Amino acid sequence: MITKEYITDLKHKGNEEIAHFVGNQRDVGNINFILENLGQLPQNFNPDFLYNLLNHQYAQVRLNAVKNIGKLNGKSDTKSLFELYKKEVDTSVRREIVSSIGRQRKSTNKSLLFDFLDDEDPKIVCQAIRGLLVFENDNDVEEHLKPLINHQNEMVRTVIYKEYFAKENQNKKDALPHTETYEFLKNVVVNSDVLEALKYLPDESVHLTFTSPPYYNARDYSIYPSYQAYLEFLEKVFVETHRITKEGRFLIVNTSPIIIPRVSRSHSSKRYGIPSDLHPYLVKNGWEFIDDIVWLKPEASVKNRVGGFMQHRKPLGYKPNSVTEYLMVYRKSTEKLLDWNIRSYDYKTVEESKVSDGYETTNVWKIDPCFNKVHSAIFPVELCKRVIQYYSY
Ligand SMILES: C[S@@+](CC[C@H](N)C(=O)[O-])C[C@H]1O[C@@H](n2cnc3c(N)ncnc32)[C@H](O)[C@@H]1O
């Protein structure tokens, strides 16, 4: 059996031995094992056998060969790698080639990296951008990268925005430090129309919003002339919520698909997929989608829809009991990482805010609903507790 120790031993003995050893392997798994365990390559390492493996019939072997060639620190033959790139069909190998060339940080490789910017695989483009960004204050690089702000791929646009355009917005200072808010907003309950109340909230003053908007016209506390009007109303609310939310902070929207009962037996009832229909409005207005959490309720607590099917068992007429709602988690889009938000807090606050043992590890939260004579859709305290604990300081 080939061991890591044996490979290390051969590698240091002299190059011919490891090249010979790889050459004698008939088993692809063994070749990959050796290549994956070569580790750091010694100064005098002769990589010829790695270049031969670039023509191997198995993509995993080619990938591992490219990875090792990438460890040659500026001594690798980029021409061979580029030749392989031109004919390679495996996406992982193609990406690794670009990464290997980029990692060398050689300005002579810039023109190759510029070529990769035209690749149709956005990951290759991002990899090439990464390789080019090491050349700081380089006009040539800037001239090639800045126009990618209009690239068709959103990841590419985001990287370019962060590198070249976000700085222009950085002078815009919050009125308050990130961790703070206004005294008049603390511990208040407001009974008002949401759009009216939101007018009184200053920009970037809120750290977390958890809300459960009306379920269109399924309950009678609010009536909208149409589903479109309902979605547009929510859009207005979440545009305002975006304005008052601090950079990079969270919005959690609790909704679920609903059913509007049929008008008569000759009509069918209508389902509305509120979470998925609302989603594009949120994303369009600067909310980044983070997670979908499923709130799972006991079957006995929900309306029985499956009764009819239980009798007739006819396909197409299947209507399961809806035991779930969604908590859709969004973050106010920013080029800053979550770490930036967290680092804004002092040590004591971070320690005191740590979530204790017993936290939910999956995106399915089993929580009993609450019932109340006055309101038909009250939040269970446990649901609010978790949201506040996991998404705020
Ligand atoms: C699905 S319920 C959510 C209730 C929430 N789970 C709770 O425990 O308070 C929707 C709530 O939104 C309220 N609502 C509807 N339209 C509103 C508006 N324009 N402004 C403020 N609240 C509104 C309704 O009265 C209802 O209480």
Residue 57, pLDDT > 60, answer: yes
User: Which of 44-58, 173-187, 269-283, 315-329 comes out lowest in average pLDDT?
Assistant: 173-187
**Percent residues over pLDDT 90 in the chain:** 73
Residue 74, pLDDT > 90, answer: no
Ligand 1 pocket member 370 (CB < 6 A): no
Give the helix ranges, DSSP H, for the chain.
Answer: 4-13, 15-23, 28-36, 48-52, 59-70, 78-87, 91-103, 110-116, 122-133, 139-145, 154-160, 166-169, 194-198, 227-244, 274-284, 307-312, 338-343, 347-353, 381-391
Ligand 1 pocket member 47 (CB < 6 A): no
4-169 under CATH 3.40.50.720, yes or no: no
183-391 under CATH 1.20.1530.20, yes or no: no
Label residue 189 exposed, middle or buried (CB < 10 Å: 0-12, 13-18, 19+).
exposed
Residue 174, pLDDT > 60, answer: no
Q: How far apart are CA 238 and CA 251, in angstroms?
A: 9
- The pTM assigned to this predicted structure is 0.77
Ligand 1 pocket member 377 (CB < 6 A): yes
Q: How far apart are CA 29 and CA 318, in angstroms?
A: 48
Confidence of residue 172 (pLDDT cuts 50, 70, 90): low
Task: Give residue 377 CA to ligand 1 midpoint distance, Å.
Answer: 9
Task: Give residue 222 CA to ligand 1 midpoint distance, Å.
Answer: 8
Report the nearest-CA residue for atom 10 of ligand 1: 214
Task: Give residue 388 CA to ligand 1 midpoint distance, Å.
Answer: 19
Ligand 1 pocket member 216 (CB < 6 A): no
Confidence of residue 169 (pLDDT cuts 50, 70, 90): low
Instruction: Name the average pLDDT for the chain.
Output: 92
Domain parsing of the chain, residue ranges: 4-169, 183-391
Using the CB atoms, write b or e for 130-166: b if 16+ within 10 Å: ebbeebeeeeebeebbeebeebeeeebbbbbeebeee
Render pLDDT for 257-316 as a digit per residue (tens, 0 to 9): 998 888 888 888 899 999 999 999 999 999 999 999 999 999 999 999 999 999 999 999
Render pLDDT for 224-247 as a digit per residue (tens, 0 to 9): 999 999 999 999 999 999 999 999
Ligand 1 pocket member 194 (CB < 6 A): yes
- 4-169 and 183-391 share one fold: no
